[in-house]
Amino acid sequence: MSKKNSMPDFEAALAELERLVEKMESGDQSLEDALQSFQRGIELTRTCQQALKNAEQRVEKLVKSNGRLVTETLDVNE
């Protein structure tokens, strides 16, 4: 299985990251397990950051004004 195929989508990565944080905060892990959880958490964080960056780039491509690309702030309250 390639690394690209083994990486979860944004929602799955975020859910797994939340579970890891809860597990680490419980303090019930050995040092080795905590280090492995931390390493996986870093990988998941990078996955989420990349997914958000990709989504931002897609939004920027969709927002056009007078035939040219412009970046606009997305108002999440709209």
| Token representation of residue 33 | 């397990």
Identify the pLDDT of residue 71. 65
Distance CA 54, CA 8 (A): 15
Alpha helix positions (H), 7-74: 10-26, 31-62
Task: Find the farthest-apart pair of alpha carbons in the chain and give their distance in angstroms, rounded.
Answer: 59
Question: What confidence score (pLDDT) does residue 60 get?
Answer: 72
Cβ atoms < 10 Å from Cβ of 17: 19
Domain boundaries, the chain: 3-69
Which fold does the domain 3-69 belong to in CATH? Helix Hairpins (1.10.287)
Which of 6-15, 26-35, 53-62 is modeled with the greatest confidence?
26-35
| Res. 35: pLDDT tops 60 | yes
47-71: pLDDT as tens digits:
999 999 888 877 776 766 556 666 6
* pTM of model > 0.85: no
Better-predicted residue by pLDDT, 57 or 73? 57
